[in-house]
């Protein structure tokens, strides 16, 4: 309080002690004795009061001293223009009713009770009608003599008033009225706040505007009443009250507040006129001239905006705009513009004036702090909700750890919901191929491997984020140099904005990337979305890492189970077996059979127990033992272990693996593979041929998945179930003590060898061959390039498939016998499928399969195209294609004798040989004696199966 104010206060208190002369003489006439001590104490107490709180206490105590029978005193003090409030308990004197009518009469009234509905519960006992005969309710209005209004009201519960009591109350009312006027004068004597709480200087020179005291009093009364109503914790409700006030003060048809986002990049509106919007409207801060208002802190009118901006504003408001006033609202704490107050369409067709601008600025002198505080509180509440949402996200994610595809789908759903994005994509980083892989999209999970979406890990927006590990927020996708709009042009979809963020593991290494497209409830993704994405990515990284770990643990359990199963089924190779195999030394291939290295030779003619030694002979003849310094004991043990690794189904057994390996040897000897492949690739091909069907159970991939076998549980998510198991078994044998034939390799060659074996064995899945057939054909058309690593890889796959189907290149009797073995195995699987309640395919159903037709179809669509392609790449392979074609023709010629479905009752197709021998005797096939050493029956001393 300044010295002037203190002096003014003392002067006002001086008015309290001495009554005017005429009042003193009148009192003397009515009272023959001096004032009682109680009255003097009461008057002195009132004289010392300088604030409203002390005044309430003084009035209450004074009444109790003057009226000893007083039971209760309720004091109402002024608040705003017409409100009278009590603090004990907090409530307002009703604007209508008996009490208000007595107050409006401006004189004291004594009655037998007041309406209970107009009283708080605390005072109903002592004031509510009807009162006992010895009790009264007294209403005492304290008057402002200059304005002839009540400036305070006392409600007193006491005994009926005596003449002495009436006399004391007359004196007390006069002094109490003076005290009330003095307290009001002291409260309004302090310097008023400036018109604007910030350094905003409008272009209308608002600070030089002359405002009368009467206008100030009216504005002050209105704004104080408004401030008393701003108790809402909801920012929209608070804005609604402020906007209604602005509409009333500026006489505008509609007002709104455009709030400035914290990052100063956009404006958003939650309330327009008397309507709270269901979804807030937002637009860029640089929308028209509004950005200049924020920057320069100067008001604008309708004449300052363009026709296009006017049209957009009219669309937002839903009506045409005839006049407008936009005033910046600054924070008292920072001086920064936090909102733009806009008034539209002044009534009676008038234009907004400087007085309207003053009224808006005067309003926000008092309400801007409440507004910013409420917005900050609402933001904290929003953060609380988002944190709870993140916790729920964590719960949802960690309940799907058992399936990474389902987990990724859940991540997409949660990310889209949290950020309100139109589309979300999640890519996982494949470090082996250095690619970003997406198998899960908004529409669901893609199970087919060929429909995976792969992009290089260093290209495009996702590649940039994967490489840098930094979040990328793109507000305009088409203007960004990393965005490729070809997809949008082809699909008609429009990408407006993108938020792309990395997903990292516990070592802070990028394991994936998430990409959000098109913010739905805003012009682009804001800083809040970035912070939310960062927090969300932590949960994603943890959940993905744990899901992959969970998967590895389960795979380890399955592998352990399979290893135990394999160990129970097979027997280890003893040292005696190794010694016995090597005791005679490696036999030259010419001594095995003169035609051993010719395509016409059928390896199935060899006895089963001689095949391991033949494998050693082929290793020696191809030069692998010397070139790669392979230990003989290790090689012998490896060959025996591989042989024992095969079960004994009719077709996919060790003899099949031996025949396939022999055909690889024939390709090496007759087609000069060294001119097309590297030596390490040829060795990988030969070893893959030996191991490509290890532990085959006589059933295919579809059966494994349908029967939900252990193999399916382990490999079905990757595809090629059996082929992956064959490779895993090959690795298990190599890891067995004394069986690693590659132990002399350096680390680089060893890793490459295992990768080659994996790729070659996986290529035995005919589904894989069909996927790459077009690429193989293109390679043949363009010309093979040995220096092209991709060409060599595709040629390896083609050679492996050729070896796997090599029985079709042998003589008719071998081909016929192989068909018999294959369909025995197929029909066995079909019987199992029927037992499971499933319907087998035609080729697996012994009751439906027509073997000649199936064989002809297989040769025409699978075998012949393979060897045709091989002959185009390796001209020496032409005779192989011709033999397959001849066998296909023979199936056509003998098909008329095949009048049954499935196999004959004796499971033999020997009856077909009679037709073949008759045709051969007639010279239909020429001399073929050298190729009749086909599959021998058991009676002839060969294994045959």
Dihedral sign, Cα of residue 590, residue 595, residue 596, residue 597: positive
Q: Which DSSP state fits 423?
A: E
Question: How far from 698 is each of 47, 552, 649, 695, CA to CA, in Å?
Answer: 112, 28, 5, 9
DSSP per-residue codes, 114-170: B-GGGS-HHHHHHHBSSPPTT-EEEEEEEEETTTTEEEEEEEEEESPPPHHHHHHHH
Question: How far from 657 is each of 28, 696, 806, CA to CA, in Å?
Answer: 136, 11, 11
Q: Rounded CA gap, 487 and 453, in Å?
A: 13
- Name the nearest CA neighbour of 726 among 758, 684, 686: 758
Q: How far is CA 152 from the centre of its chain?
A: 62
Token pair recorded at residue 894: 């003998």
Q: Is 652 a catalytic residue?
A: yes
**513 in Cβ contact with 539 (< 8 Å):** no
Token pair recorded at residue 477: 């996708």
Token pair recorded at residue 823: 């369909």
- Name the nearest CA neighbour of 423 among 406, 441, 447, 409: 441
Interacting residues of 187 by C-beta distance below 8 A, sequence separation 6+ = 51, 52
Token pair recorded at residue 811: 């003589």
SS3 for 297-364 is CCCEEHHHCCHHHHHHHHHHHCCCCCCEEEEEEECCCCCCEEEEEEEEEEHHHCCCCHHHHHHHHHHH
| 51 CB-contact burial (10 Å; exposed 0-12 / middle 13-18 / buried 19+) | exposed
Write down the catalytic residue from 175, 362, 652, 726.
652
**567 in Cβ contact with 719 (< 8 Å):** no
Report the half-sphere exposure of 515 (CA within 13 A, side-chain side): 24
**81 in Cβ contact with 222 (< 8 Å):** yes
457: helix, coil or strand?
coil
Question: How far from 627 is each of 668, 686, 688, CA to CA, in Å?
Answer: 16, 15, 18
Query: What would you measure as the largest C-alpha separation in the chain, in angstroms?
Result: 165
- Name the nearest CA neighbour of 677 among 785, 780, 751: 785
Token pair recorded at residue 731: 């690795």
Dihedral sign, Cα of residue 559, residue 564, residue 565, residue 567: positive
**536 in Cβ contact with 393 (< 8 Å):** yes
Token pair recorded at residue 277: 């919007």
DSSP per-residue codes, 692-751: TTTT--S--HHHHHHTT-HHHHHHTTTS-HHHHHHHHHHHHHHTSTT--TTTTS-HHHHH
**738 in Cβ contact with 633 (< 8 Å):** yes
The 10 Å Cβ neighbour count of residue 293 is 22
Exposure b/e, 99-109, CB count within 10 A at least 16 = b: bbebbeeeebb
Let me know the angle formed at the C-alpha of 715 by 711 and 717, rounded to the nearest 5 degrees: 135
Q: Which residues are identified as catalytic?
A: 652
């Amino acid at each position: 309080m300044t010295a002037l104010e203190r002096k003014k206060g003392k002067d006002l208190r001086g008015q309290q002690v001495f009554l005017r002369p005429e009042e003193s003489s009148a009192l003397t006439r009515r009272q023959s004795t001096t004032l009682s001590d109680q009255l003097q104490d009461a008057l002195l107490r009132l004289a010392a009061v300088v604030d409203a709180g002390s005044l309430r206490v003084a009035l209450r105590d004074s009444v109790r001293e003057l009226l000893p029978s007083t039971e209760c005193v309720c004091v109402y003090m002024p608040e705003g223009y017409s409100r009278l409030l009590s603090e004990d308990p907090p409530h307002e004197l009703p604007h209508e009713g008996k009490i208000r009518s007595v107050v409006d009469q401006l004189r004291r009234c004594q009655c037998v009770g007041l309406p209970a509905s107009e009283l708080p519960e605390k005072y109903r006992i002592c004031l509510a009608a009807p009162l006992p005969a010895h009790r009264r309710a007294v209403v005492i209005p304290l008057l402002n003599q200059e304005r002839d209004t009540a400036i305070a009201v006392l409600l007193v519960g006491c005994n009926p008033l005596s003449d002495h009591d009436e006399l004391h109350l007359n004196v007390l009312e006069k002094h109490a009225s003076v005290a009330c006027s003095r307290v009001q004068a002291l409260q309004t004597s302090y310097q008023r706040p400036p018109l604007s709480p910030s350094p905003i200087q409008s272009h209308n020179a608002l600070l030089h505007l002359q405002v009368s005291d009467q206008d100030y009093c009216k504005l002050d009364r209105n704004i104080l009443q408004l401030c008393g109503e701003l108790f809402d914790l909801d920012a929209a409700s608070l804005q609604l009250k402020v906007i209604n006030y602005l509409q009333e003060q500026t006489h505008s048809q509609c007002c709104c507040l455009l709030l400035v986002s914290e990052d100063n990049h956009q404006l958003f509106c939650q309330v327009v006129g008397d309507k709270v919007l269901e979804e807030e409207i937002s637009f860029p801060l640089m929308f028209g001239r509004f950005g200049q208002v924020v920057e320069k802190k100067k008001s604008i009118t309708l004449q300052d905006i363009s026709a296009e901006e006017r049209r957009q504003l009219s669309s937002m408001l839903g009506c045409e705009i005839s006049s407008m006033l936009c005033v910046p609202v600054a924070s008292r704490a920072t001086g920064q513009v936090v909102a733009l107050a806009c008034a539209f369409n002044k009534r009676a067709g008038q234009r907004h004036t400087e007085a309207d601008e003053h009224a808006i600025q005067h309003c926000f002198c008092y309400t801007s702090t409440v507004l910013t505080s409420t917005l900050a509180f609402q933001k904290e509440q929003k953060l609380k909700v988002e944190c709870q949402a993140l916790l729920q996200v964590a719960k949802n994610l960690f309940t799907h750890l058992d399936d990474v595809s389902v987990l990724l789908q859940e991540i997409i759903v949660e990310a889209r919901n949290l950020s309100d994005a139109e589309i979300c994509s999640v890519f996982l980083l494949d470090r082996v191929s250095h690619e970003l892989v997406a198998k899960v999209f908004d529409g669901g999970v893609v199970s087919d491997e060929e429909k995976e979406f792969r992009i290089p890990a260093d290209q495009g927006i996702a590649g940039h984020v994967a490489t840098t590990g930094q979040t990328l927020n793109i507000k305009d996708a088409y203007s960004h140099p990393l965005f490729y709009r070809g997809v949008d042009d082809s699909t008609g979809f429009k990408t407006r904005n993108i938020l792309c963020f990395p997903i990292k593991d516990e070592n802070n290494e990028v394991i994936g990337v998430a990409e959000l497209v098109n913010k739905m409830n805003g012009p682009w993704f804001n800083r809040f979305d970035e912070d939310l994405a960062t927090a969300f990515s932590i949960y994603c990284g943890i959940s993905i890492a744990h899901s992959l770990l969970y998967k590895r643990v389960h795979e380890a359990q399955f592998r352990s189970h399979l290893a135990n199963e394999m160990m129970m089924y097979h027997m280890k190779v003893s040292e005696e077996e190794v010694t016995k195999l090597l005791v005679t030394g490696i036999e030259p291939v010419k001594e095995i059979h003169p035609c051993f290295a010719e395509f016409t030779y059928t390896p199935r003619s060899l006895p089963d127990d001689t095949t391991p030694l033949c494998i050693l002979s082929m290793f020696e003849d191809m030069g692998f033992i010397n070139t790669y310094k392979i230990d003989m004991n290790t090689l012998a043990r490896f060959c025996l272990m591989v042989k024992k690794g095969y079960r004994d189904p009719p077709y996919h057994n060790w003899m099949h693996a031996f025949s396939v390996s022999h055909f690889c040897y024939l390709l090496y000897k007759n087609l000069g593979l060294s001119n097309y492949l590297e030596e390490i690739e040829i060795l990988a091909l030969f070893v893959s041929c030996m191991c490509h069907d290890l532990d085959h159970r006589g059933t295919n991939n579809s059966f494994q998945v349908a029967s939900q076998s252990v193999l399916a549980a382990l490999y079905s998510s990757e595809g090629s179930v059996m082929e992956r198991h064959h490779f895993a078994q090959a690795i298990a044998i190599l890891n067995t003590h004394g069986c690693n034939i590659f132990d002399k390799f350096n680390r680089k060659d060893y890793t490459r060898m295992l990768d080659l074996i994996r790729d070659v064995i996986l290529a035995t899945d005919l589904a894989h061959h069909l996927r790459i057939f077009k690429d193989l054909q293109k390679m043949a058309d363009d010309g093979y390039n040995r220096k092209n690593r991709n060409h060599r890889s595709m040629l390896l796959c083609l050679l492996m498939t050729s070896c796997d189907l090599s029985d079709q290149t042998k003589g008719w009797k071998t081909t016929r016998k192989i068909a018999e073995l294959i369909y025995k195995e197929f029909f066995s699987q079909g019987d199992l499928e029927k037992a499971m309640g499933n319907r087998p395919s035609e080729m697996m159903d012994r009751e439906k399969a027509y073997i000649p037709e199936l064989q002809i179809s297989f040769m025409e669509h699978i075998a012949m195209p393979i060897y045709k392609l091989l002959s185009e790449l390796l001209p020496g392979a032409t005779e192989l294609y011709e033999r397959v074609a001849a066998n296909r023709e023979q199936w056509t010629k003998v098909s008329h004798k095949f009048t049954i479905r499935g196999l004959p009752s004796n499971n033999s197709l020997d009856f077909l040989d009679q037709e073949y021998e008759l045709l051969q005797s007639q010279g239909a096939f020429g001399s073929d004696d050298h190729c009749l050493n086909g599959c021998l029956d058991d009676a002839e001393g060969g294994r045959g199966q």
